[in-house]
Amino acid sequence: KVIDRVLAKDPDARYQTCRELVADYMDATGMVSETNSVRAEISLPVTRQPEPVIASDQRVQPAGPTWKRAAVYSLTGLLFLALAIWGFLTFSPAGQGLTAEPSVIPHTVEEAAVGLLRFQDGTAPADQVTISTSSMEAPPQGSQYEAWLIQDDGEQRISIDVIAFDQQNQGSLAFVDGAGQNLLGKYRTLEITREPDPDPSPNSSNDVAFSASLPPEGLAHIRHLLFSFNATPEKIGFIHGLEADTLLLNESALQMLASFEARDEAGLDLHAERMLNVILGSQSEEYKDWNGDGAVDDPSDGYGLLLNGENLGYIQGTFTHADLSLTSPDATQNMRTHGGHVKDCAANLDVWTPQLRDQLSAILNASFDSPELEGMIREAVVLADKIRNGIDVNGNESVEPISGEGGAVTAYEHAYYMADMVIVPGASQPP
């Protein structure tokens, strides 16, 4: 057992100190028991242990003094041999080479970060990227850093300009796609190259100083949130559908209240029907002409906020694909952290939206002259605002992406944070 541990392939399984080796060796050979007995006789009375039973009519006979002495000498020699082997494996270059462990523990991506790329909405969804640097060294005199976005195939790239540094050595860059393209749907890698200043060539020098990338599996589901999903109307991303529908709800709720205050019963019913159908979705059995004017009014794309037929609804779709991204094997820390935030916000919406659905149904079935109608309408307005903007429950002057607070706006923000790219030194850096 002792020799096996000395020769173990796993360095962590070997003896880490000579003291451990000696202790186990002496215990294995019985020397520990003898030594402890001698010490005990000097200070404390020893309780004699019963001898182990071999058979019903036999007992182990104590070894004679001569045999013990010879055994001790032999085993002591083996001890020195084991110590020699242990020392060789522990301290020799060859022994250290067997571990194949690096002498320096590599930093995580976050520890090595020198900057961040973030996708944002400029004139269209995700048509803008910004780069900000924290500890990136400014380029040497006569040179500059140029940033490039690279498509998934690694072959096509575009320059998004040169990083500008201020007097505090903080770098920044903002780029908006001229055609309003969703950049997140097209690019997943950033390279920052060293270029001469001035630079007569429009091409990359391929001298990569810094880089960043998003992992393919986690990114696929972020794209389902922020770029496109095949099953939605116009194949829009779930978070953009959620954004559009909750905005419609909030605006229609205010119009419903205005109609009530103007004593416009037809207007009130129209806006209540629109809100209810936005929530339900076109495949719901309750999706209908609620006010009896001969038309099913729905200003949305009909996919619904809640599950209806084969439509997941934008709330469940957002929750599901945030979860798929953050649980993907290659998920980044931003995907895990902010994906959890998106899920928490979606879970809030899954509680508040059915409440608004039931409230709108009650409004449409109530008499216009009911003394309770105004309170019902105002409660619906508050619910619609909460679904859209969330609510600061803990009084810290901020709507956070937590249970009971975050709404659609907060979910939208953190869905974009999931796609943040951490910039680190070197080329072809893993995400």
Tell me the mean pLDDT in the region 62-69: 42
Q: What is the pLDDT of residue 155?
A: 86
Q: State how far Cα 208 lies from the chain centre.
A: 27
Give the CB-side neighbour count of residue 77, counting CA atoms within 13 A.
5
Tell me the mean pLDDT in the region 124-151: 95
Break the chain into its structural domains and give their ranges: 2-99, 109-213, 224-425
Q: Which CATH architecture has domain 109-213?
A: Sandwich (2.60)
Tell me the mean pLDDT in the region 276-293: 98
Tell me the mean pLDDT in the region 53-77: 42
Q: What is the three-state SS of 302-364?
A: CCCCCCECCECCHHHHHHHHHHHHHCCCCCCHHHHHHHHHHHHHHHHHHHHHHHHHHHHHHHH
Q: Read off the pLDDT band of 22 (50, 70, 90).
A: very low
Single-letter residue type at 44: L
Q: What is the pLDDT of residue 10?
A: 59
Tell me the mean pLDDT in the region 91-95: 42
Highest mean pLDDT among 9-13, 200-204, 345-349: 345-349
Rounded percentage of the chain residues whose pLDDT exceeds 90: 70
Q: What is the pLDDT of residues 238-263, one digit of tens each?
A: 999 999 999 999 999 999 999 999 99
* Of 276, 280, 308, 306, nearest in space to 290 by CA: 276
Tell me the mean pLDDT in the region 346-353: 98
Tell me the mean pLDDT in the region 298-323: 98
Q: Read off the pLDDT band of 85 (50, 70, 90).
A: low
Main-chain dihedrals φ then ψ at residue 100, nearest 5 degrees: 55, 30
- Per-residue pLDDT at 31 exceeds 60: no
Q: What is the pLDDT of residue 62?
A: 38
- Per-residue pLDDT at 128 exceeds 70: yes
- Per-residue pLDDT at 63 exceeds 50: no
Residues 312, 307: Cα–Cα separation, whole Å: 5
Q: What is the pLDDT of residue 112?
A: 86
Q: Which helix (H) or strand (E) holds 115?
A: strand 115-120
Q: What is the pLDDT of residue 251?
A: 98
Q: What is the pLDDT of residue 427?
A: 86
Cβ atoms of 174 and 163 within 8 Å: the answer is no
Residues 364, 346: Cα–Cα separation, whole Å: 27
* Secondary structure E strands in 197-230: 208-213
Cis peptide before 198, with omega less than 30 degrees from 0?
A: yes
The two three-digit tokens of residue 362, written as one number = 């009650």
Residues 6, 25: Cα–Cα separation, whole Å: 11
Length of the chain: 431
Q: What is the reported pTM?
A: 0.75
* Of 172, 177, 171, 141, nearest in space to 159 by CA: 177
Residues 122, 153: Cα–Cα separation, whole Å: 25
